[in-house]
Amino acid sequence: MAKQTVTVGSSVGLHARPAAVIATAAGAYDEEILLSIDGEDPVEATSALMIMTLGADFGMSVDVESENADAVAEIAALIAKDLDS
């Protein structure tokens, strides 16, 4: 199981547009990719709606987990970027 912790880089947080970009990218992998904050219930990265329920604001830490290390790296990088600009 690969795991990374990253800081949210989108100024609006993981809101509609950033969440949609992440969900689309996550959908390209077969393996499950999970996101969580502070050890709370993880959500699937393939669902923009579920990502939004995290309520992840700019600057918050998000844990990314998956069997696929490439997937973790890609999704973590997206979370760290400002996707709303």
Partner 1 sequence: MIDNASAITGTGVVSGLAYAPALWVNPEPELASKYEALLVEDVRDAEAERWKAAAEMVAARLFQRAATGSGAAADVLSATAALAGDRGLQRATLKMIAAGSTAEAATVAAVGAFIVKFEKLGGLMAERVADLGDIRNRVVSELLGLPEPGVPTPASPIILLADDLAPADTATLDPALIRGIATRLGGPTSHTAIIARQLGIPCIVAAANLADIVDGSVVLLDGFAGTVERGTVPAESESKVLADAERRLAIQSWRGPGRTKDGTAIEILANVQDGAGARIAAGYPAQGVGLFRTELCFLSAQSEPSVTEQASIYGEVLAAFPGQKVVFRTLDAGSDKPVPFVSHPDEENPALGVRGIRLGNVEPGIIERQLDALALAAEQQGIAGAKVMAPMVATLDEARNFATACRARKLSPGIMVEVPSVALLADAFMAEVDFFSIGTNDLTQYTMAADRMAPSLAALTDPWQPAVLALISLSAAAGIRSQKPVGVCGEAAADPLLACILIGLGVSSLSMAPAALAGVGIQLGEVTLSQCQEAAEAVLRTTTTEQARATAREMLSPTIHSNSKE
| Position 2 contacts partner 1 (CB under 8 A) | no
Active-site residue, 71 included: no
Residues 54-83 that bind partner 1 (CB under 8 A): 55
Shortest CB 57 distance to partner 1, Å: 9
Q: For residues 76 and 60, what is the distance between their CA atoms, to the nearest angstrom?
A: 13
Asked whether 31 and 38 are in contact (CB, 8 A), the reply is no
Residues 29-48 that bind partner 1 (CB under 8 A): 43-44, 46-48
Q: For residues 80 and 78, what is the distance between their CA atoms, to the nearest angstrom?
A: 5
CA angle 42, 44, 48 (to 5 degrees): 120
Q: For residues 28 and 38, what is the distance between their CA atoms, to the nearest angstrom?
A: 26
Residue from 3, 5, 7, 53 in contact with partner 1 (CB under 8 A): 53
Which residues have a catalytic role annotated?
A: 15
Contacts to partner 1 by CB under 8 A: 12-13, 15-17, 20, 23, 27, 43-44, 46-50, 52-53, 55
